[in-house]
């Protein structure tokens, strides 16, 4: 699997699937979630409402993932995952790992060969960008070891320069 980090707007990336740092309601929010909902158009919200009505009536659990079509996005799919919120006491790194591995499980089920991730739980959810970057890179590499050739490319697409730098360090550092 080829892993890269780039600074940019995840809503404009040409990959098979993008990952949305969603909230458990799946009904939109701020940050990455709001940007993806705005760029995908109103059909995304309708699809998320249908998921809430059928598959996840109580909301999506922290660390889990589910997919919808990408609608007006360049990506065919949006994989929604709910990151742990440190401000709410969700400090277990295994929850963060699960966001990345469950998203890749869903991507593999969709036969998505390329996936773009944001920095899930960094920012308003209070996780340190360096911790998120190290956790994300390790989780994706571990998942790839267990699922060789299931996904060809993972791109970490980061809006903020400092977060991008954290991911570059994680990819190239002594543990990268």
The full DSSP string for 66-114 is EEEE-TTSSSSEEEEEE---GGGT---HHHHHHHHHHHHHHHHHTT-SE
Two tokens at 109?
């089920």
Whole-angstrom distance, CA of residue 122 vs CA of residue 25: 19
Provide the number of structural domains found in the chain.
Answer: 1
| Nearest alpha carbon to residue 53 among 40, 66, 38 | 66
- pLDDT (0 to 100) of residue 89: 96
Compute how many other C-beta atoms are within 10 angstroms of the C-beta atom of residue 3.
18
The boundaries of the domain holding residue 38 are 2-172
The residues, ordered by sequence, that sit 6+ positions from 43 with a Cβ below 8 Å of its Cβ are 69, 71, 72
CATH number at residue 118: 3.40.220.10
Average pLDDT for runs of 10 along the chain of length 176: 98 98 94 96 98 97 98 98 96 97 98 98 94 98 95 97 97 74
Two tokens at 49?
């409402």
- pTM of this structure: 0.97
| Nearest alpha carbon to residue 158 among 3, 33, 7 | 7
Whole-angstrom distance, CA of residue 5 vs CA of residue 49: 32
**CB of 99 closer than 8 Å to CB of 120:** yes
Whole-angstrom distance, CA of residue 40 vs CA of residue 64: 21
Residues identified as active-site: 33
CA angle 159, 126, 91 (to 5 degrees): 130
């Amino acid at each position: 699997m080829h892993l890269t980090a780039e600074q940019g707007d995840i809503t404009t990336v040409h990959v098979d699937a993008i990952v949305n740092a969603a909230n458990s309601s799946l009904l939109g929010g701020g940050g990455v979630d709001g940007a993806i909902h705005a760029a995908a158009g109103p059909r995304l919200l309708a699809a998320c409402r249908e998921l809430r009505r059928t598959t996840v009536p109580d909301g999506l659990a922290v660390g889990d993932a589910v997919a919808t079509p990408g609608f007006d996005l360049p990506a065919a799919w949006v994989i929604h995952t709910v990151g742990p919120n440190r401000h709410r006491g969700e400090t277990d790194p295994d929850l963060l790992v699960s966001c990345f591995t469950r998203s890749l499980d869903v991507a593999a089920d969709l036969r998505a060969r390329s996936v773009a991730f944001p920095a899930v739980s960094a920012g308003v959810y209070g996780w340190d960008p360096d911790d998120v970057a190290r956790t994300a890179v390790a989780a994706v590499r571990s998942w790839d070891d267990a699922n060789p050739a299931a996904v060809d490319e993972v791109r970490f697409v980061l809006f903020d320069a400092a977060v991008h730098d954290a991911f570059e360090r994680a990819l190239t550092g002594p543990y990268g």
